[in-house]
Structure 1
Amino acid sequence: MRTALVVLYTAAGLIAVLYAVVTYRRRLQTPLALPLSLIMAGAAEWSLAQACCLAAPTPVLALIFNYAMFPGVAMVVAGSFWRSMLLSEVRKLRPALLLIQPVLLMAVLATDPWHHTFYSKVDTAVDYGITVYPSAAYWVHTLYCYGLLTAGAVLVVRALRRAVRGQRRVYWWFLAGGVAPTAGNLVTVFLHVNIQRLDVTPLLFLVTGVVWWWTDRSGVNSEPVPVTYAQVISALSDAVMVLDPNGRFLDVNPAAAKLLAVVNPACGAVIGKQWQDVVDPHFSAMVVDAGQSTIHGASGDVYDFRVVQIEAADGSCPGSVVVVRDVTELERLRAELTDQAVRDGLTGVFNRRYLTTALDARVRAAASAGEPLSIVMIDVDHFKAVNDRYGHAVGDQVLVDLARQLTGSVREGDLVARYGGEEFVVVLPGVDARAAAERADRWRRQCATTAVDTHLGTLNVTFSGGVAQLTATDCPEDLLRHADEALYRAKHAGRDQILTAERTLPVLG
């Protein structure tokens, strides 16, 4: 029986050595490999020392090999806790501190034959080498090991609860791998077994090796360190804040801390403070009800603001999550795109599509208020000849300059639009036909005196204009048609002039 046990312990130790070497080679691929290699090296030393203890020809050698098992125990415990720290992302404790207990243990074991604080007595056993009787230092060592393993298990369980769902199996398999040797050691240490306290723990580490080998081969541990929900929240650019039912800050991510520092530079650390004592008055009333809204801050920034009530399993509300996104740039781009959609790409004034919608609204508003409204339709004289002689680039410059003159000469509330080609329409709310014609004539004279530099010399252009005032029966199309008819008469009358539509119907205003 002793020979069979020696063979079994030796085989287990050699397998553990092989696994330790293979795992160590993967240390650059994942930080989890190095502590696992330490665990398996410790299990190998433990198992081989147990085999040597059983095979020892004298009680003295058996005792020496018995002592030699405990450095392996220390390696297993330290490696397990180290791996637990890595899995649970604990960075406050340095792994080097785990060397303190093994060093003290080695000192106690080396001097134990003189002070007997580890083993109080050692007897020779008939079939299994020696029988040892633990003393105080042994139990201190045992309690330390189980305390450290328990602390590691607690860290892993807490990390499991924080981990994203798809990676929780990493923690489950880590815990499962430690079940067999832990159970075996509990039986060995705390129960009187029939084979004179022979330790089955290193044998059961073969189970651990198989479980963790399978997790590596199957890709369960393919990620260097599992991702936690805390890491996900911290990586978000959105500000995420967790509040209790009374509006007190429970947690904030880095983006939220940065946002709150901008909103209230004097707030400092916010955990434990009331929401309304920290945030801008624009935000203070937003956590009352769940929902989404857009808020404009005092500095002009724009925020997308969402409040989600947390619902517990029993239906109660233990707090709320506030998510704030700075959408200032997004709103600016949206406004810019909206503006581009209604603007002429060349001249920057409104396009014909926008004119159609805006003119309809202005006509209805003028008719409802009983106020006058006039439009001026403008056409650049001999524009085709300008393009033919000077080129389209010069023609485009003529249109751009005219559009700039018109927009610089109108009031707030007036509207300048490119109607098509070289034609422009100016909408003048509150202005009758006579005043509109006077203003259009000033624009005409200004245009005639404005020179455009070209490769063929200075170019001066003129335009013709037609003015029409809204009547009681007009629709927007009628108003445009009458202005176009007046423009047609101005061009056939010699160009470079402004004519008013000939109307017989009563006008508004």
Structure 2
Amino acid sequence: MDSQLTIYITLVSLTGIFNLFLSVYVFLRRNEIPGSLSFILYTLALTIYSFGYAFELASDTIWEVKLWNLIEYIGMPLSVPLGLMIILNYLKIKISRAATVALFVVPLITWLMVATNDYHNLFYKVFTFQEGMNSHTLKIEAGEWYIVFSIYTFCCWLAAVSLLFSRWKQTRKSYRLQLFTLICGQLMPMITGLLYLLGVTPTGIDPVPMGMCFSSGLFIWAILSTKMLTVVPIAKETIFDSMGEGVLVLDPAKRLIDYNQSVGQMIPSLNPSMIGRTLDQVWTEVTGEPFPFYHLPDGSVEELSWLSNSKQFYQVRSSTLRHRNGEQAGSLLMLINVTELKRLQNELEHQAFYDGLTHIFNRTQFIQRSREMLAASRMEKHPFTVVLFDIDLFKRVNDHLGHETGDRVLVHVVNTCRKLLSKETLFARYGGEEFVLSLPYTSLQEGKVIADRLRIAMEDEPLLTDKGAIVVTASFGVAEASGRLDDTLDTLLRKADEALYTSKRSGRNRVSLYSSTLEYSHS
């Protein structure tokens, strides 16, 4: 019996050590753990309870037993509401300050009842060593308040277990192990307490500390292996998964601790095994690149894109999560799919910058960009030339073959010219069947060479239609900026236009150069 008692005292002491370890561990990481105060107080209460009961079992006199029993009841009653508060905090169930205070009324009265039991016997009717038995075997008969406290204790345990079970379906599979751990942690002292009240356990032996020992071991395993209470689901409500926007939940160390179903659809390769890794690690694995924004201030909005089945664009909004005391609890990254909006925006920009038929720059963009290029050429003192050309007899094409064929001619001319022009060349539809080129770093004679090359290519490459081949020719006018401050883009275009009409009057399908002496050369 003595050896069995020694083993039991050792196990109860081990429970105290476990809980002391948990208390210190959580205290050192309190900034990372939501609701850390409740957990620290809970484990401290269990530590006092365990060591108090161990010393009570080792005592030889009734006076020592009562002293350690009184110390034991500092921790044991407090652990009951504190355990319930941990569950409420885990499930994000808020209760009022008055309700919180009310939870501790019965434990406080219980300790007072134990401390003054010799005067009223309301907690213990009998509390003494059994006659003829080992001095460590207590004879205890419960008083009225003992029954009240037992009912209160079981109600708290039952409430905690019920709340945890009620969230089982709403909890993501990746967090059900945490939930199961908490359920077992609440069930074990509840079951052992019930066995004790039913008299199933050996006389004078309270098995509840053993239940607490099991729960403590479970908590230690959960914390070290599943990061429970460090990696916790901050948002677990059903609405979290029903949101259209994707949400990533990060802890203060930028580790992923939760995400909703929308993000899972946006990033199919994201999976629960990535929870606990840093955002950079997760992003590198799912996209091949680290997260592009090292630091996102609270309320900031950024844009990112990645290639899934097609290129997708997302707006990223950052929001800081804080505890009630103002300390940072983590952050939310909300991902909003703006791919369609981006497409419409690009379409509007294209319409504003480009000609709808030929998809080269329109007149407005040509003028804006050419003015900047002309100003730069003046400052850097390099030549700047403009080439203006017009499709010959284009009206006849529209009148005899229809506007659809006319449109095809315009597109054909643009495609023919593009083959000979670099991507950097500013090429635009100036209006109707008229087109224009801006050529910085190009002299008048060099502009003539480019214009001739385009003219010959058009003539040599007819447009094939179901009505036959259409030979397309064009007349060109080339003008070079003089370098004077009064020589504006409008003046330069007017000169090119004069040269163009000289080509028209001279028989079309030719290039004319504008010179300052108002003499023209043709080819």
TM-score, normalised on structure 2? 0.50
Match of 1:386 among 378, 388, 397: 397
How far has the Cα of 1:359 moved from its partner?
1.3
Map 1:9-28 onto structure 2 (within 5 A). none
**Separation (CA, whole Å) in 1 of partners of 2:395 and 2:158:** 90
**Separation (CA, whole Å) in 2 of partners of 1:278 and 1:496:** 63
Q: Is the 8 A contact 1:260 1:278 kept in 2?
A: no
**Separation (CA, whole Å) in 1 of partners of 2:354 and 2:282:** 43
**Separation (CA, whole Å) in 2 of partners of 1:378 and 1:348:** 17
Match of 2:242 among 230, 235, 243: 235
1:502 partner letter: S
How far has the Cα of 1:317 moved from its partner?
1.8
Match of 2:491 among 472, 478, 483: 478
How far has the Cα of 1:423 moved from its partner?
0.6
How far has the Cα of 1:343 moved from its partner?
1.7
Map 1:36-435 onto structure 2 (within 5 A). 150=159, 154=163, 230-257=237-264, 262=269, 269-280=273-284, 282-283=290-291, 285-287=293-295, 289-290=297-298, 291-297=300-306, 302-328=313-339, 330-435=341-446
Q: Is the 8 A contact 1:282 1:295 kept in 2?
A: no
Call closer, same or farther: CA 1:278–1:397 in 2, change over 3 Å: closer
1:27-74 Cα offsets, whole Å, 9 max, x none, are xxxxxxxxxxxxxxxxxxxxxxxxxxxxxxxxxxxxxxxxxxxxxxxx
Q: Is the 8 A contact 1:250 1:272 kept in 2?
A: yes
2:315 partner letter: D
**Separation (CA, whole Å) in 2 of partners of 1:145 and 1:378:** 94
1:283 partner letter: F
**Separation (CA, whole Å) in 1 of partners of 2:293 and 2:411:** 49
Alignment match, 1:487: 500
Q: Is the 8 A contact 1:376 1:427 kept in 2?
A: yes
**Separation (CA, whole Å) in 2 of partners of 1:351 and 1:479:** 18
Call closer, same or farther: CA 1:241–1:343 in 2, change over 3 Å: same
Gaps of 5+ in 1: 1-87, 89-138, 163-227
How far has the Cα of 1:357 moved from its partner?
1.4
1:237-267 Cα offsets, whole Å, 9 max, x none, are 43312222222333211233455664xx7x7
Q: Determine whether 1:503 maps to 2:507.
A: no
**Separation (CA, whole Å) in 2 of partners of 1:312 and 1:144:** 29
1:440-473 Cα offsets, whole Å, 9 max, x none, are 1121122123323456543323211100112212
Call closer, same or farther: CA 1:408–1:284 in 2, change over 3 Å: closer
How far has the Cα of 1:433 moved from its partner?
1.1
How far has the Cα of 1:336 moved from its partner?
3.7
How far has the Cα of 1:389 moved from its partner?
2.4
Call closer, same or farther: CA 1:251–1:353 in 2, change over 3 Å: same
The number of aligned residues is: 296
**Separation (CA, whole Å) in 2 of partners of 1:302 and 1:334:** 12
How far has the Cα of 1:414 moved from its partner?
0.5
1:179-211 Cα offsets, whole Å, 9 max, x none, are xxxxxxxxxxxxxxxxxxxxxxxxxxxxxxxxx
Map 1:26-37 onto structure 2 (within 5 A). none
Alignment match, 1:438: 449
Q: Is the 8 A contact 2:384 2:480 kept in 1?
A: yes
1:277 partner letter: Q
Gaps of 5+ in 2: 1-90, 92-147, 172-234, 519-523
How far has the Cα of 1:157 moved from its partner?
9.9
How far has the Cα of 1:432 moved from its partner?
1.1
Name the SS for the 1:445 alignment partner. helix
**Separation (CA, whole Å) in 2 of partners of 1:284 and 1:475:** 44
**Separation (CA, whole Å) in 2 of partners of 1:150 and 1:394:** 81
2:290 partner letter: H
* Root mean square deviation of aligned Cα: 3.7
Q: Is the 8 A contact 1:406 1:416 kept in 2?
A: no
Name the SS for the 1:279 alignment partner. helix
1:288-307 Cα offsets, whole Å, 9 max, x none, are 63322223558875442222
**Separation (CA, whole Å) in 2 of partners of 1:258 and 1:394:** 46
2:279 partner letter: W
Name the SS for the 2:323 alignment partner. coil
Name the SS for the 2:237 alignment partner. helix
Name the SS for the 1:350 alignment partner. coil
**Separation (CA, whole Å) in 2 of partners of 1:157 and 1:292:** 37
% identity of equivalent residues: 32
Call closer, same or farther: CA 1:251–1:461 in 2, change over 3 Å: closer
1:345-395 Cα offsets, whole Å, 9 max, x none, are 222222112112121122122223222221111111122222222222222
1:65-124 Cα offsets, whole Å, 9 max, x none, are xxxxxxxxxxxxxxxxxxxxxxx9xxxxxxxxxxxxxxxxxxxxxxxxxxxxxxxxxxxx
How far has the Cα of 1:482 moved from its partner?
0.9
Q: Is the 8 A contact 1:344 1:418 kept in 2?
A: yes
**Separation (CA, whole Å) in 1 of partners of 2:470 and 2:304:** 52
Call closer, same or farther: CA 1:147–1:287 in 2, change over 3 Å: same
Name the SS for the 2:475 alignment partner. strand
Q: Is the 8 A contact 1:275 1:284 kept in 2?
A: no
1:321 partner letter: L
**Separation (CA, whole Å) in 2 of partners of 1:248 and 1:399:** 57
**Separation (CA, whole Å) in 2 of partners of 1:302 and 1:456:** 45
How far has the Cα of 1:321 moved from its partner?
0.9
How far has the Cα of 1:326 moved from its partner?
4.7
